[in-house]
Amino acid sequence: MRVVVALGGNALLRREERPDAAVQLANIRAAVSALAPLAHEHELVITHGNGPQVGVLALQSAADRSLSSPYPFDVLGAETQGMIGYWLLQSLQNALPGRQVCAMLNQTLVSAADPAFTDPTKFVGPVYDRTEAERLAAERGWTVKQDGSHWRRVVPSPRPQRVVETRLIRLLLTSGAVAVCAGGGGVPVIRDERGQLTGVEAVVDKDLTAALLAEALDADALLLLTDVPHVSLGYGTPGAEPIGGTTPAALRAQQFPAGSMGPKVDAVCRFVELTGAMAAIGALEDARAILDGAAGTVVTPSGSYREARYDGTQDLT
């Protein structure tokens, strides 16, 4: 099988953890231990989030008095691709001796007319209480919104249209390599009036990019791995109900927060609707069980994982 995995930013840097290199590297090594069994059995593409990391770099850039202006978000996105890609590359090489692994820098094409540029929704950087968030917003011209019980900075998140280097990623897979790519949703770029690529101030949602890439690569499965075991109705409430096997229509009938689970649900639904394959949302440590249909929220056209994997000859429901 060809499997595309999207690692959530919180799987690499958990809430309340200090964004030290040693902390993130330890988390990445744990992530790789969960993913290595998939690489032994399948063609594997790994994408990753960068919200916490790009936020830290943005703070550093804004505080650097040697700069006449902070680095733009496309540049910061590229920096995080290099940093996180390096950690994943090295950890995968150590976990998969003899296997070729490549960490790529990728651009993601977006539309300059995307309405997201006037309505920022993508969370970046550390969490704050409301008072501190509003103070920073006033000082630095940020837009801040509530993220669970905390507050965070938000930036534009235009919808991905195409991963520019898709054909190169396909070549890596056909050569037998594990590909680490499209980190942070890819560096956001538009085409100008001359047809030239140029970066824009935004962060692309990595789950939507992962779904777009999985479709373009003819993937058999898309796994969105995060720090929760499944999608839940009424998340965070005493009556929360986990969702197991389901369909795109059933998921789309529910309401999920735009800044957190909403894009994940949109991504898996879109992939399943367009390809007829399976997609899932679940915990990183359950990666192999999710692919086997034994954990997570698994989405297929009929709500049956076996239909997607075995052409309907067997059924789990």
Length of the chain: 317
In angstroms, how far is the first alpha carbon of the chain from the final one? 22
Q: Of the listed 8, 10, 282, 293, which one is catalytic?
A: 10
Contacts of 220 (CB under 8 A, 6+ apart): 1, 2, 3, 277, 278, 308, 309
Q: Check 8, 9, 51, 85 and give the catalytic one.
A: 9
Q: What whole-number distance in Å separates Cα of residue 137 and Cα of residue 122?
A: 15
Q: Which of 50, 77, 85, 122 is catalytic?
A: 122
* Contact of 273 with 222, CB cutoff 8 Å: no
C-alpha span between 93 and 73 (Å, rounded): 29
CA distances from 162 to 51, 84, 182, 212, 278 (A): 20, 22, 11, 7, 21
Identified catalytic residue from 49, 50, 51, 264: 264
Residue type, 311: D
Q: Render the burial of 273-284: b for 16+ CB within 10 Å, e for the rest.
A: eebebbbbbbbb
* Tokens coding 28: 């990445």
**Is 122 among the residues known to form the active site?**
yes
- Which candidate in 8, 106, 185, 206 is catalytic? 206
Q: What phi-psi label fits residue 311: left (phi over 0), alpha (psi between -120 and 50 degrees) or beta?
A: left
145 is catalytic: no
CA separation for the pair 73, 87 (Å, rounded): 21
| Separation CA 73–CA 156 (nearest Å) | 10
Whether 94 sits among the annotated catalytic residues: the reply is no
Catalytic machinery residues: 9-10, 122, 206, 264
